[in-house]
Structure 1
Amino acid sequence: MSAQVAKTKPFMEKIYRYIFQRSATFILVGVIGAFYMERAVDVICDNIFDKVNEGKQFHDLVKKLESEGKV
C-alpha cells in the first residue's frame, strides 16, 4: 500500500461510516447536494443570460426610457 493510499484510507472510512453506511443519511446528503447544486447552476445561468442580453431586457428598456423622460 502506498503512502498516499494509507493517508486517505482513514478519511474514506469516516466518509463511509457517517454518510454512505446508512441509506437515510445517503439520501439526505443527495437531496441537500442537489438543492445547492440546482441553486448554483440557476444563479450562474441567470448571470450569463443577463450579461449576454444586457440592454435588451424589459427592465433595461424601462430605465433607458425613464432617463429620456418618455415614461
Structure 2
Amino acid sequence: MIGCAEAVRQLWEYIDDVVDVGEKAAIESHLARCRRCCGELEFARELRQTLFDASEEDVPDDVLRRLRHMVEELER
C-alpha cells in the first residue's frame, strides 16, 4: 500500500500510463480510498488538458495558483 506522497509523486506517470502494472494497481487502490489524491488526479488531468488546449495562450491564474499549491504540498 502506498501513501499520499507516493501517489501524488507518481500521478503524471500514471496519467501517461507509463507505470508498471504493480504501481498502477497500488495507485488505483490508494485513489479508491483517498479523496484528496483523487482531487489531485483530477487537477492534474485538467491542467494537462488546459496546457494542451492552450499551448500558445497564457495559463489561467487559478490554474497557476493550484499548481503552485500542489508543488508546495509535495515539498512538505
Note whether the superposition's TM-score is higher than 0.5: no
TM-score computed with the length of structure 1 as normaliser:
0.38
Q: Which has the larger radius of gyration?
A: 1
Could you say which structure has the higher helix fraction? 1
TM-score computed with the length of structure 2 as normaliser:
0.36
